[in-house]
Homo-oligomer: A and B are copies of this chain.
Amino acid sequence: MKNILIIGCGLLGSSLLRSISKKRIAKKIFVYEKSKYNIAKIKKLKLPGTIVKSLKYGVVNSDLIIFCTPMSEYKKLILKINNLISSKTLITDIGSSKIETSKIIDKFLNKGIQWIQSHPIAGSEVSGPEHGKDNMFEDKWCIIIKNKNTVNHNLNRLIKFWKKIGSKVVVMPAEKHDKIFSITSHLPHLIAYNLVKSAQDFEKKESYELIKYSAGGLRDFSRIAASNEIMWRDIFFNNKKNISKAIDLFIKNLNQFKKDIISKNNKSILKKLIQTKKVRSRIIKLKQDIDKPDFGRN
């Protein structure tokens, strides 16, 4: 890559910015950010790259454009850059769901321009450029979406880019991606939000102070439930079909578990609890989490 434009410089955009700069992946890095508040922070942090006020300037001078905005911004931005962009420029993004955004891209992006979607499995509950880190994507999975329009040459360029960033790359279709992450990411977030909401409802109803006793489990969920609301609204709306199915599967299991508790079905409950325990070991073995008890937080 010669020049790279990052559109949207929050947690992940600024992490990419730091990483691209540190690893000297681009000749020039341009940053387009619409929030004045974020721009002030970027300047204060003395982040690398050049903030461009004109989207046009960034677009026409870049070989790779990375959308790091909420997914609900894509359409508006596509319409702005459509007539500026050359067919040599590759576009990607870091959105967490893929089928709906691929429809937006198909429908609104000028033909002949390549947008190959990426999804780096990285992030945290905090937002904003001040929380970005240059090693955010190091040893993390990055899913790249391949469909019938994907040009191999560009796919290879993108794979090379993410590998330089330090990610482990896997290529799959949007349908498979959205199914997998409905279970491993979207459902967990949705459940966390709802669990915290249920605790709030209960607290109101009973007039108990209960949040102060959240160290027994609730606090773990509250972390995920503190994630960026715009980002997660977009994910929930975009992947609603798969997420709905995931909710149904989950509620089915929950009701069965409830029955087992009420009937004191010892055998069934123990079998479930022992089975789920094994997943933790697999996750640690797969290096998807640290192996210290309690996330090493105490």
Contacts and interface: CB of A to CB of B under 8 A. Distances in A.
Contact of A219 (B190, B225, B283): B283
Contact of A181 (B193, B216, B247): B216
A211 B126 CA distance: 24
A37 interface: no
A195 interface: yes
A124 B219 CA distance: 13
A112 interface: no
* SS of A interface (majority): helix
Contact of A124 (B122, B187, B233, B293): B293
Contact of A253 (B123, B126, B184, B194): B194
For A210, A273, A292, A296, the residue with the greatest tally of chain B CB atoms inside 10 Å of its CB is A273
Contact of A276 (B220, B226, B257, B261): B226
B247 A258 contact: yes
Given A188-B220, A283-B222, A297-B296, A276 B214 contact: no
A246 B198 contact: yes
